[in-house]
Structure 1
Amino acid sequence: MMDDTTTRPFRQFYKAYGMAPSAKGEAPGRVNLIGEHTDYNDGFVLPTAIPQKTFIEISRRSDDQVHLFSSDIGPDGEQHSYRLGSERPLHRWFDYFQGVTWLLRQKGFAISGFNLVAHSDIPMGAGLSSSAALLVALFRTFRDQFQLELSDVEIALMSQDVENNFVGAHVG
């Protein structure tokens, strides 16, 4: 039997969009056993995955509209919408999502609009790589939904690119 952490996104997706998602993705948080904040300075690190994860569910749209729902913002979650091609950093939680669609389109990948629900049980701001988990889960979900040819290494590098060059976070 699945626990509430894995079933909650599905219930939220159905409640928000009235349908089941067509693709899902997830990624774990991580902790650095050795080398906190040395990864982006070419230092040595010893990270390991933790049980807490970020979960993404998505369904494709036939237009260029993006509809997001995050259960982790505010007491009741928060929604945001934008049009593909209008992505710009606004220093808000949805910059990570906009950064992913912006980078995929910059690299020539064909994607359409979509409905998306994000949920995570990784504490934000606790040094457990919650933003990295979000980005990796997003790219994995897009890879499945839009049949993108992306390796796990490319996903890791693109996740770093989004954080450094769209969100503005200096991470490794």
Structure 2
Amino acid sequence: MDIHEHLLRPAIEKFKAEFGAEPERLFLSPGRINIIGEHVDYSDGFVLPAAIDRYICFAVRKTPQTNRCTIIAKDLGETYTFDITMKVKPVQQMWMNYMLGVLSQLQKPENQFCGLEIVLSSTIPMGAGLSSSAALECGFAYLLNELFDLQIPKKEIAVIGQKSEHAFAGVQCGIMDQFASVFGKENKVIMLDCHSLDYQYFDADLRGYSLLLFDSCVKHSHLTSGYNERRKDVEHGKKILWKNFPEIKKFRDFTLAMLDQVKEEMGAVSYKRCLYLLKEIKRVELAAKAISEGNIEYMGRLLTETHDGLSTEFEVSCKELDFLVENVLQQEGVLGARIMGGGFGGCSINLIRENKAEEVIKAISEKYLENFNIRMKVYHVKISDGIKEYTNEYII
């Protein structure tokens, strides 16, 4: 993807058309993928996210003579204007709430703001599970930090983004999305402990391979209720485990042998949920090692194991995604595939040899259309840097 043509130029041209001048600064805030580690963030587990080369661009100019802040969402065709010094509260435009939630945490006597003109342009597809909301929150926090010298540490920017989503968007998300957007590095994955926020980078040289996201274009209505039910199943299982093994401090330290000992007391459903989680936590560690050592074939097998677990043990897949994964695994050059995200719709993530990618896309797109009468969307992604400022060389 030519980032200049698809993202920077449209943002700059829109800014000049609306405000009659060039933006002073450009910031890029990326979406993210999670290579492996689904539903373990609330169970003392690790996740393995990475920032990707899909961004929200913030074209910005300070207007010190006023407190008026005008933000234009180019792709939505919407504008929001407010006084940046006045106390903010949630509004009807959800995209704006992610940013207002950030500002609400930074409106302190020691932080002196002035007016801003901002144009937003994005190459992160909405609703595909690539965390456009985290990119919006953290990108806004980052630019405020830079423009007004707020001295906010990077970890705090991620936490501010998460709190914004909780308070102003009503989504009780974990920290992974925001953390990946802030801390991403090109050709590196992050193994993150979502509880302690301890993290380490692992090399991810995927030359010769493609990471493709196949968007099922479906979202089943039981995503929220299904998620909450899984949380209850897991909490019940944890209570049984800790009752029998009180010496264990973290859920991830329970063994499969311990789980088997309490299977009858726990019940079949909670047993399946905890079985998936304990195996998935281990898979994250194995995947981090595999990708850093260049053992891409083994990493692919781990992705497929995760899908099997999400489908049969955690039961958060759906017929469309099971179809995509089952059929893509039959194609030559595919190393692994799985559902990505919370479940019940969204994307699959597929690891494919680069020289076979287009053949696989053609075959799966045709099969999916034939079986579900839905045109699957395809997103090519590469592991990229976290939030950063772009330099003046891109001003046109």
Q: TM-score range by the shorter chain?
A: 0.7 to 0.9
Correspondence list, 1:20-35, <5 A = 20-35=22-37
Structure 1 SS opposite 2:60? strand
Number of the residue aligned with 1:80: 80
Contact 2:70 2:117 in 1 (8 A): yes
One-letter code aligned to 1:46: L
Q: CA 1:34–1:57 in structure 2 vs 1: closer, same or farther (change >3 Å)?
A: same
Identify which of 55, 69, 73 aligns with 1:70. 73
Identity %: 33
One-letter code aligned to 2:30: P
- CA deviation map 1:33-77 (0-9, x unaligned): 22234435654211112111111111112222111100121xxx1
- Looking at CA atoms only, which structure, 1 or 2, has the larger radius of gyration? 2
Number of the residue aligned with 2:149: 147
Q: CA deviation at 1:160?
A: 0.8
Contact 1:40 1:170 in 2 (8 A): no
Correspondence list, 1:1-172, <5 A = 2-39=4-41, 42-61=44-63, 62-73=65-76, 77-84=77-84, 85-92=86-93, 93-106=95-108, 108-172=110-174
- CA deviation map 1:118-149 (0-9, x unaligned): 11110111111111111121122212222221
Structure 1 SS opposite 2:150? coil
Q: CA deviation at 1:86?
A: 4.1
Q: Work out the number of aligned pairs and report it.
A: 169
- Extract structure 1 runs of 4+ deviating beyond 4 A: none
Number of the residue aligned with 2:216: none
Contact 1:70 1:119 in 2 (8 A): yes
Alignment TM-score, normalising by the size of structure 1: 0.88
Q: CA deviation at 1:112?
A: 1.3
- Name the Cα RMSD after superposition: 1.9
Higher normalized contact order (CA 8 Å, seq sep 6+, divided by chain length): 1
CA distance, structure 1, for counterparts of residue 17 and residue 139 of structure 2: 21
CA distance, structure 2, for counterparts of residue 115 and residue 32 of structure 1: 33
Q: Which stretches in structure 1 are left out of the alignment for 5+ residues?
A: none
Q: CA 1:33–1:142 in structure 2 vs 1: closer, same or farther (change >3 Å)?
A: same
Alignment TM-score, normalising by the size of structure 2: 0.40
Contact 1:87 1:102 in 2 (8 A): yes
Q: CA deviation at 1:150?
A: 1.6
Contact 1:163 1:169 in 2 (8 A): yes
Q: Which deviates further from its counterpart, 127-136 or 79-88?
A: 79-88
Q: Which stretches in structure 2 are left out of the alignment for 5+ residues?
A: 175-396
Contact 2:103 2:141 in 1 (8 A): no
Contact 1:22 1:145 in 2 (8 A): no
CA distance, structure 2, for counterparts of residue 123 and residue 4 of structure 1: 13
Q: CA 1:150–1:138 in structure 2 vs 1: closer, same or farther (change >3 Å)?
A: same
Q: CA deviation at 1:154?
A: 1.4
One-letter code aligned to 2:161: S
Structure 2 SS opposite 1:15? helix
